[in-house]
């Protein structure tokens, strides 16, 4: 009787340990974050459980030798797996428990490694490492649709005792392997979902980037076209500006010729006239250079910019146009403007738009109101120094309720207007981290302000 009790206790003890191991394996199945981590933890838990000396998991490969490739292992005598070859094909190395389990989908075990002929290819190596019996259970998962095999492998356990794997053990480990196979496919499924999500996100990002680039390009194109049309509107004034120095050059050159024909040429006058020719030539060239810059389609490059220089260039371009319409231009320019980061041509374009709008706003008002003031100031704010340029006019102005619409694309109150000037200007300012806004003057007209952060 006491012997029986001892035997029962031993069984109970073994079942208890199995149960604990099984619980640990199940929690690994839920917690593992990668397939490799899952397989490795299962092997380690099984070995720690004390019932097996070596545990390894092999995946079946579709190579010529139908290799069962070990992917995780734990226990003692790990070099065993480096020494032996296991296959799931019909050849000799495929007739062991691992090969049979993988091929047939059924558990296969060896009660005594010393005597079972099926184990002869591995016998010496196994006995040398103290393995006496073993079991292989299939690790197979079928895809839900069409029943295709998603995963084919085996879980292999080796014990130091003969006959270690009885019926209950076979059932137990087969069940465990099924759970592990599910966990693997679940992890792979998540991985696939993650990948699919990642790919979609990447694609969306690429598409958005493409759209942004197209928009950016369209904007640049538009900015360029409007610049060209604006300059077209200025053509008469520009031609005049270039013609003036050219006419002076011709007059001076003629005078020189005249002086040189004399018996005693007045060389001082010739020298003076030639100096004037050079100066006028430079002036004409400068106008042309400025126009060419504005007409250029060169890519936008933000570099340190001298805003005072930008204002000066634009005033030189629109000055003659204002003069033609009897508009007075007054300036009040700060001498201490900090350099700003920006694209010179685009900043010129913004200022040009503001000045042309102002010029148009005063075109049909009484002569005494046909005046513009361009003011530049340096403002110290909490976030550093800002260069502010204001273009003030005493023209038609705008009504309070128009304010939010002024910067909208295609908003115009002019018969021939496009309504793009301010919208383009604002997008240029946005890209310069600057601001552009309008205020109605207390008396007549409007003031448009642009602010750019000074370089730090």
Ligand X SMILES: Nc1ncnc2c1ncn2[C@@H]1O[C@H](COP(=O)(O)OP(=O)(O)OP(=O)(O)O)[C@@H](O)[C@H]1O
Task: Tell me if 55 sits within 8 A of 47, measured CB to CB.
Answer: yes
Residue length of the chain: 456
Question: Interface with Mg ion by CB under 5 A: which range of 8-16, 114-122, 357-365, 441-449?
Answer: 357-365
Q: Where are the alpha helices (DSSP H) in 234-266?
A: 235-261
* Nearest to Mg ion of 38, 350 (CB atom): 350
Q: Does 93 bind Mg ion (CB under 5 A)?
A: no
Nearest to 110 by CA among 62, 148, 75, 162: 162
Q: Report what 423 binds from Mg ion, ligand X, none; CB cut-off 5-8 Å by kind.
A: ligand X
Q: Least distance to ligand X from the beta carbon of 302, Å?
A: 24
Q: Looking at beta carbons, which pairs linking 382-385 to residues 24 or more positions away fall under 8 Å?
A: 383/453, 384/453, 384/454, 384/456, 385/338, 385/453, 385/454
Please give the Cα distance from 316 to 281 (Å, whole number): 16
Q: Least distance to ligand X from the beta carbon of 227, Å?
A: 11
Q: Does 395 bind Mg ion (CB under 5 A)?
A: no
* Residue with the shortest CB distance to ligand X: 421
Which is it for strands 371-381 and 328-333: parallel, antiparallel or unpaired? parallel
Query: Which residues sit opposite 385 in a β-bridge?
Result: 380
Binding site for ligand X (CB under 6 A): 353, 357-358, 361, 393, 395-398, 406, 411-414, 417-423, 446
Please give the Cα distance from 452 to 456 (Å, whole number): 12
Cα 392 from chain centre: 42
* Nearest to ligand X of 76, 403 (CB atom): 403
Q: Least distance to ligand X from the beta carbon of 364, Å?
A: 12
Q: Does 421 bind Mg ion (CB under 5 A)?
A: yes
* Residue with the shortest CB distance to Mg ion: 421
* Nearest to ligand X of 283, 426 (CB atom): 426
Q: Report what 398 binds from ligand X, Mg ion, none; CB cut-off 5-8 Å by kind.
A: ligand X
* Nearest to Mg ion of 253, 409 (CB atom): 409
Q: Least distance to ligand X from the beta carbon of 375, Å?
A: 14
Nearest to 365 by CA among 445, 448, 446, 449: 445
Q: Report what 343 binds from ligand X, Mg ion, none; CB cut-off 5-8 Å by kind.
A: none
Q: Which residues in this chain contact Mg ion in the complex, by CB under 5 A?
A: 357, 421
């Amino acid at each position: 009787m006491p012997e029986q009790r001892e035997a029962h206790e031993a069984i109970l003890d073994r079942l208890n340990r199995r149960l604990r191991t099984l619980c640990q394996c199940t929690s690994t199945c839920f917690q593992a974050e990668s397939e490799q981590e899952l397989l490795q933890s299962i092997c380690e838990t099984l070995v720690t459980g004390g019932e097996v000396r070596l545990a390894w998991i092999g995946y079946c490969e579709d190579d010529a030798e139908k290799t069962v490739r070990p992917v995780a292992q734990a226990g003692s005598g790990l070099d065993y797996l480096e020494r032996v070859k296991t296959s799931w094909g019909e050849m000799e190395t495929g007739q062991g428990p691992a090969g049979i389990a993988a091929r047939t989908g059924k558990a296969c075990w060896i009660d005594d490694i010393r005597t079972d002929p099926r184990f002869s290819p591995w016998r010496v190596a196994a006995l040398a490492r103290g393995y006496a019996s073993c079991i292989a259970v299939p690790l197979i998962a079928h895809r839900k649709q069409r029943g295709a095999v998603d995963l084919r492998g085996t879980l292999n356990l080796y014990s130091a005792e003969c006959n270690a794997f009885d019926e209950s053990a076979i059932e137990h480990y087969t069940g465990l392997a099924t759970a592990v196979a599910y966990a693997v496919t679940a992890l792979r499924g998540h991985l696939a979902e993650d990948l699919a999500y990642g790919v979609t996100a990447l694609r969306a990002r690429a598409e958005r980037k493409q759209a942004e680039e197209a928009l950016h390009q369209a904007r640049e194109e538009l900015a360029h076209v409007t610049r060209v049309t604006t300059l077209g509107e200025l053509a008469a004034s520009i031609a005049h500006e270039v013609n003036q120095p050219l006419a002076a050059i011709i007059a001076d050159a003629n005078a020189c010729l005249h002086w040189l024909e004399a018996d005693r040429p007045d060389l001082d006058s010739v020298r003076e006239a030639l100096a004037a020719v050079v100066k006028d030539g430079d002036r004409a060239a400068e106008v042309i250079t400025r126009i060419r810059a504005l007409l250029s389609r060169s890519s936008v490059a933000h570099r340190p910019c001298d805003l005072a220089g930008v204002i000066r260039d634009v005033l030189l371009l629109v000055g003659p146009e204002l003069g033609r319409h009897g508009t007075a231009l007054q300036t009040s320019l700060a001498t201490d403007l900090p350099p700003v980061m920006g694209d010179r041509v685009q900043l010129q374009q913004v200022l040009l738009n503001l000045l042309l709008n102002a010029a148009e706003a005063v075109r049909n008002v009484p002569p005494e109101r046909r005046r513009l003031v361009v003011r530049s100031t340096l403002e110290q704010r909490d976030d550093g120094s800002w260069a502010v340029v204001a273009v003030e006019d005493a023209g038609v102005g705008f009504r309070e309720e128009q304010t939010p619409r002024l910067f909208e694309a295609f908003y115009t109150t002019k018969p021939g207007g496009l309504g793009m000037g301010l919208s383009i200007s604002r997008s240029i300012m946005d890209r310069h981290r600057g601001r552009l806004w309008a205020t109605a003057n207390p008396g007549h007209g409007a003031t448009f302000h642009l602010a750019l952060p000074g370089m730090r």
